[in-house]
A and B are shown apart, each in its own frame.
Chain A
């Protein structure tokens, strides 16, 4: 299967701990997005990479959050000093270079974070 994969699928941590999530996009996709989805809400944009460059960060992404995409391949999202409010599903999506049309974003299965 060559879809978007995310690891881990579930993470339970204690408040104050650091966590890191990984996303492997579809190989030929140069654009990568992170979204956060809380219960009963639609996904909210967190950050965007084009190749290895992080080109946009949402105001939702506090200083405790950091994301990387070394070599323009997989991406990691780290949350430091987790808080209970960080509990959510973290979704990764990738898409090919823009074609000037309604390019589809392909989503991974998500990482569900629970902060106790």
Chain B
């Protein structure tokens, strides 16, 4: 079975600085997708960034980028120029890419990010 591990329960960053959230996963599959979701306090979960395992190039979305190390099964999220609105729970998630799979996400336990003004 696939598992996702986020080893940092809480992180803190100064506004305008850069922070990296860690995620490792375990799978025997070669075709899969990885995601980072953001869950602000009392608000719904939204997608931050996604990565297809078959792509070697790291995904970027504005201030958010990932460091995808397939051999090491590592998928970290870097947030540059942190803003107060980035404060939230961040979840790393895995989805099988195999045809016929239901496509459900497997989540880590999350990292609570605080942003200091």
A-side interface residues toward B, CB under 8 Å? 3-4, 31, 33, 35, 40-45, 48, 50, 55-56, 91, 93, 95, 98, 101-105, 107-110
Interface residues of B, count at CB 8 A:
25
Contact of B52 among A50, A91, A101 (CB under 8 A): A101
In the assembled complex, the Cα of A107 lies from the Cα of B109 at a distance in Å of: 17
For chain B, what secondary structure do more than half of its interface residues adopt (helix, strand, loop), or is it mixed? Answer: strand
Residues of B bordering A, CB below 8 Å: 4, 33-35, 37, 43-47, 50-52, 91, 93, 95, 102-110
The one of B46, B95, B102, B105 in contact with A43, judged by C-beta atoms closer than 8 angstroms, is B105
Taken together as a complex, chains A and B put the C-alpha atoms of A22 and B97 apart, in Å, by 29
A53 CB to closest chain B CB (Å) equals 11
Q: A56-B102, A102-B51, A103-B103 are in contact. Are A109 and B44 (CB under 8 A)?
A: yes
Which residues does chain B contribute within 8 Å of A42, judged by CB atoms? 4, 91, 93, 107-110
Which of A3, A91, A107 has the most B CB atoms < 10 Å from its CB? Answer: A107
8 CB-based A-B contacts, threshold 8 Å: A31-B103, A42-B110, A93-B105, A104-B35, A104-B47, A105-B47, A105-B103, A110-B44
